[in-house]
Structure formats: structure tokens, C-alpha cells
Amino acid sequence: MGGFEGHLFPGLCFFFYGLYHAQMSFKASMCNCPAQYPPTRPWSKGRWAKLRQIYYVGLLKMLGACILVAQELHSIPGQFVLITKLYHQRNFLYHKQWQHLTLYLSFFLSGCVDVLSQNLLPWRCAPLEQGGQALTLCVCLPLMVSHIQDTEGVERQGHILLIQAIFLLTVVVIAELWAPDLPQIWVMKAFFNMLVGSWLMHLGFMLFRPISGYKWMDDDNNDILFVTIFFSWHVIFIAVLMIWIYGVSFVWYCYIC
């Protein structure tokens, strides 16, 4: 996730994925559905029957991961290798780029699991999807911890807060494996997905394209302290957004539909 685009595009993916789950969560609660993943119609006959049953969220995961991989490879100067053999040395190269590619690969595999779980059975296999998401986040979390070892100041503080949000999202997704029909789990999952996404986008602007036009200073304690304040504002913003989504969903499903 290096550079402005490397923070913006994953942030958008997390944010819209959280919006999707928020809408699904409130719909399931108001319509008294037994699970967040409602059963789909059995496969019908016809040439395009199976194509209509594809889980498009999984396909979007795979497509987004491929775009991010292409962007990451395009930003690497020179030959992209793992180990250099210059002067008989064996030094690892591009450690951050390899971290990014590992993250993108895990999300690509999660999308593959989503699509396969939809097409293997007439009803969506929710535990398989949830297991894929939990495994992806378990890969993401230690990579993000190692990602900040050579950072400092504003960038380090911003990524520490991001790791906290990813950790809480990981806990919620793992808890969903044992309580898949608990509405509180669905709401928290949507909340933390949107929080991770919005904060990733904010980090991209803060580190590479500050809106004020002035670069954030790593040696200024005020700048570092305001990073945490802005993160707290993101938490409040996502909470207000969840309340707004709930209100719109309540009006739509209870009075219009």
C-alpha cells in the first residue's frame, strides 16, 4: 500500500465493503432473516443460469486485488526480485512491496473462496466465506505490524491506529465463525470495515497529498497528537453514518417495501 493510490484504492474497497455489510445487516434484522447471508434461489436451467448465481462481491475482491497488484508492480523501479546476488551477497529486496503483494494475494484468495462457496452449493456456504475472511485478516495483521518497523513520527502513529482497527476487525470476524447469526457481530463487522477504509484513505491524503498543502512534520508533537484526534473523529463519523444507514433502512423496509 505504498504511495497515495496504494492507500486510496484499498481504503475505498474496505469502505464500500463495510457499506454493503451495513445494509445487509440492517435488512436482515428488520426482515427477521435467520442469517446475514440469506439463501439464494436454486440453480435454474438455461445457458446463463450459473452465471446469474455468481457472488459478485467475491468477483470484485478478485478484480480489486489484481488492480492493486498491477499498480504495485508498476511503481517498482528496475527489476523486481526477491534476493540480490550483487557482489556475492544475499540481501532481500523490496520488503514493503512483497508485503503489499502478500496482502493482495490473500484478498484475492478470499474472493476466490467467496465465489466458490456460492457456486458449490445451491445455498451460499456462509462459514466458508467467513473462514476465508478471517484467514485473510490473520495474514494482514502481522504484516501490518512488521510494516511500521522502519517508520516514525506521523506515519508510524497513523499506522499504529490502523493496526488497532484491523485487530478489532479480526476479532469480530473470528467471533462471527462461532456466532454467525448475531446481529451485533454483523453491525461491528460493518463498522470496523468502514473505519479501516476511511482511515486508510485519510492516511493517503495525510502522508502524500495533504489537503492544506503543507506537509505533516514528524518532529512536531502537535502533528502527531492530531493524528489520534483525527482518528477519533473517524470513529464518530462512522458511528453517525451507521445510524443514518439504519434510519434509511428502517424507513425503506418498514414503510416503503
- Does the structure show a pLDDT above 70 at 37? no
- Assess whether pLDDT exceeds 90 at residue 189: yes
Return the C-alpha cell found at 208: 502524500
Q: Where are the domains of the chain?
A: 9-256
Instruction: Give the model's pLDDT for residue 97.
Output: 83
The confidence score (pLDDT) of residue 111 equals: 86
Least confident range of 10-19, 76-85, 174-183, 219-228: 76-85
Q: Per residue in 6-16, pLDDT tens?
A: 889 899 999 99
Q: Alpha-carbon distance 133 to 113, whole Å?
A: 9
Average pLDDT along the chain: 82
The answer on pLDDT for 162 being more than 60 is: yes
d(Cα 55, Cα 185) in Å, to the nearest integer?
22
**CB neighbour list of residue 115: distance below 8 Å, 6 or more residues apart:** 54, 55, 58, 59, 62
For residue 70, count CB atoms less than 10 angstroms from its CB and return exposed for 0-12, middle for 13-18, buried for 19 or more.
exposed
Distance CA 91, CA 18 (A): 40
* 124 or 78, greater pLDDT: 78
Residues 6+ apart with CB under 8 A from 210: 216
pLDDT at residue 151, as a whole number: 85
The pLDDT tens digits for 142-161 are 999 988 888 889 999 999 99
Predicted confidence at residue 253, as pLDDT, reads: 74
pLDDT tops 50 at residue 101: yes
pLDDT band at residue 34 using 50, 70 and 90 as cut-offs: low
